[in-house]
Structure 1
Amino acid sequence: MSDSGENDAAWTLYKDRPEWRDLKPVPENDGPSPVVVIAHSEKFEDVYNYFRAVLQSNEKSERALQLTKDAVELNPANYTVWQYRRDLLQALGTDLRTELDYVEAVIKHSPKNYQVWHHRRVLVEWLQDPSLELELTGDALLQDPKNYHAWQHRQWVMKTFGLFDKELEFVDNLITEDVRNNSAWNQRYFVMNNHLGWSDLNVQREICYTLEKIKFVKNNESSWNYLRGVCFHDKRGINGNAVVTSFCEELYKNKCRSPYLLAFIIDMCDEAIKKGETNTFHNADRAILLCHDLATKYDKIRSKYWNYVCDKFKKIQKAQNETDNHENNIDN
């Protein structure tokens, strides 16, 4: 899909085609004083000159449909071309199954093009048939596991038509292949949030699953973020889950200084302070120490952020000390 192709030598311009002589091409209008004029090939200008003419006359014909295909070939990101093609499909009563095949071919050439994925979505909506979509998106994600448009289309299809049954298995395979695949972790959360739900059993299962992945790669932001998201659904909180707290403290005891581990322990300290449940491990003093370590050694690129967080805990510490001193004075 480009401005030119291997078969351009055999290409017949629209202006030289007898069947198009009845239509006057409409050239691009850049205004009287264009700042930058984009240089297009003769083929590109010819196709789009005739596309503008068809658009202006609102022609609904098979030749117009073929013209949109040529226009897409040259610029698959052009919204107007895709929208007019949809208008033509409806007006002509075109076989939408054939159109699905065509769009699949375009996706293979332009897998990160929003317009073609949107076109596919409209076709599925018209047909009310999602039977090909999981395989299509699965193939796209095999080529690029982080293709945002493929994930977006997959999530829409699953949520619209309830196609969740085998998704955890699909996601687990991706995570097993690349534990740092943030898109796969996000999809796992999507399935839990929209299908399986956050029962206590599911929460504990997901916690155990995530801890096993963290054991494998401790310095992985994706799995730590997922753990934080799962713990949000634990009615006992982070500190109330002995499996999580003991896991983190064991890592810390064994000299693990992943910035994501330290940040997670800081969250534990913050939760303990807010609930008035501070202890030896989770309190303002430790949070300040960890913030300092992150800012100066383990996450220096975000030192300003950690200094900001540290100041917050220092204020909490100061307020607590003033309260303790006041209570001691009263007792005395």
Structure 2
Amino acid sequence: MSEMLYCENPEWKDVTPIPQDDGPNPLVPIAYAKEYADAMDYFRAVTRANEKSQRVLTLIQDIIDMNPAHYTVWNYRQQVLFALNADLDKELDYIDEIAADQAKNYQVWHHRQVIVDRLNKGDRELPFINSILEEDSKNYHGWSYRQWVVKRFDLWESELAYTDDLLVFDVRNNSAWNYRYYILFNNPKTPSEEATASEIKFTEKQIVLAPNNSSSWAYLKALHEKTNKPLNLIEPFLKQLVDKHVESPFLLSMYIDIYEQNAKQQNTAVDPAALDMCKVLAEKMDAIREKYWNYRLQSLQKLNVTTTVH
């Protein structure tokens, strides 16, 4: 932050500040701090004059220190940097400094993406993202930016292994499961049958470790649907869990999905076991979602009526 107000700084005496215009009778005027109001008055002036200079970058940095979510200020900073042909690696250093305290600020992430795209090199990005995710492994902006970086710079190769490590640490990390799906199916190289089979085995192992983790169950189902594999291929695995006396609402839910898919594909009645499982889930195992399981029960019953009619 500057040590004095801009209106008191002789280096800015050539600029006439432009106050914020709230109209003649503002209903609820915002009580800005005098430092922020002063800096913004000068920001309006330089943007109106289209000034792009080093002192404007300093002004913008002061405003960002006070309000790091100001989109217009970040946007103008990019324009100034590009107009001055500034060292963009130094700009990444600047973002590195503020990112730890602004890890959930969308504007910071967007600004970094614009700068990195302009630099046309991503060698710093995965280590940077890793540092953020080490502090918060479910940071949405970090994961979204990682997807862009990997696609932009073709960095697919080691990303599955990266999620392996995260899931060892926390098998319930839904963000890591989502990202794993992105890496597997957005990679320009379509996964082979062998790779898909290996992924299914990996997921089943994670389910055995935490059978009440919704993320791994959803991922297992998604793997089969994305690769057009019938869900009944999962039944042998489910039987293993049943034989081990595993109790999980997701186990029953998967059985229900399998029985429903079988009925639709074979144009037959739904296995009565699926109806019983809906009742167990609604009344005991997942009572918090009682309405959902009653809805599923009604849907299966309607499917049976339709099948009988045909």
TM > 0.5:
yes
Residue in 1 aligned with 2:254?
Answer: 264
What is the rounded CA distance, in whole Å, between the counterparts of 1:95 and 1:322 in structure 2?
A: 72
**Contact preservation (8 Å) 1:207, 1:230:** yes
Q: How many residues align?
A: 309
Structure with greater Cα Rg = 1
Matches within 5 A, 1:315-326: 315-321=302-308
What is the rounded CA distance, in whole Å, between the counterparts of 1:117 and 1:264 in structure 2?
A: 38
Query: SS of 2:231's equivalent?
Result: coil
TM (norm. structure 1) is 0.88
What is the aligned-residue RMSD (CA, Å)? 1.9
Residue in 2 aligned with 1:178?
Answer: 170
Query: SS of 2:121's equivalent?
Result: coil
2:195 is aligned with 1:208: no
Query: SS of 2:226's equivalent?
Result: coil
Q: CA deviation at 1:255?
A: 4.0
Q: CA deviation at 1:171?
A: 0.8
What is the rounded CA distance, in whole Å, between the counterparts of 2:4 and 2:286 in structure 1?
A: 60
Q: CA deviation at 1:321?
A: 4.8
Match of 2:192 among 190, 199, 218: 199
Matches within 5 A, 1:293-308: 293-308=280-295
Q: CA deviation at 1:48?
A: 1.2
What is the rounded CA distance, in whole Å, between the counterparts of 1:19 and 1:187 in structure 2?
A: 50
TM (norm. structure 2) is 0.94
- Cα deviation code 1:140-169 (max 9, x no counterpart): 100110111111111101011110121111
What is the rounded CA distance, in whole Å, between the counterparts of 2:156 and 2:109 in structure 1?
A: 20
Match of 1:247 among 237, 250, 274: 237
Q: Which amino acid aligns with 2:215?
A: S
Q: CA deviation at 1:41?
A: 1.5
Compared CA separation, residues 50 and 301, structure 1 to 2 (3 A): same
Q: Which amino acid aligns with 1:188?
A: R
What is the rounded CA distance, in whole Å, between the counterparts of 1:39 and 1:21 in structure 2?
A: 25
**Contact preservation (8 Å) 1:103, 1:120:** yes
Q: Which amino acid aligns with 1:301?
A: I
What is the rounded CA distance, in whole Å, between the counterparts of 1:27 and 1:235 in structure 2?
A: 61
**Contact preservation (8 Å) 1:284, 1:314:** no
Unpaired segments ≥5 residues, structure 1: 1-7, 324-332
Residue in 2 aligned with 1:73?
Answer: 65
Residue in 1 aligned with 2:210?
Answer: 217
**Contact preservation (8 Å) 2:267, 2:307:** no
Residue in 2 aligned with 1:5?
Answer: none
What is the rounded CA distance, in whole Å, between the counterparts of 1:81 and 1:140 in structure 2?
A: 24
**Contact preservation (8 Å) 1:284, 1:313:** no
What is the rounded CA distance, in whole Å, between the counterparts of 1:230 and 1:197 in structure 2?
A: 13
Q: CA deviation at 1:190?
A: 1.1
Query: SS of 2:72's equivalent?
Result: helix
Matches within 5 A, 1:109-120: 109-120=101-112
Q: CA deviation at 1:176?
A: 0.5
Compared CA separation, residues 75 and 283, structure 1 to 2 (3 A): same
What is the rounded CA distance, in whole Å, between the counterparts of 1:284 and 1:34 in structure 2?
A: 67
Q: CA deviation at 1:316?
A: 2.3
**Contact preservation (8 Å) 1:284, 1:316:** no
Unpaired segments ≥5 residues, structure 2: none
Compared CA separation, residues 127 and 260, structure 1 to 2 (3 A): same
Deviates further, 33-42 or 149-158: 33-42
Matches within 5 A, 1:93-132: 93-132=85-124
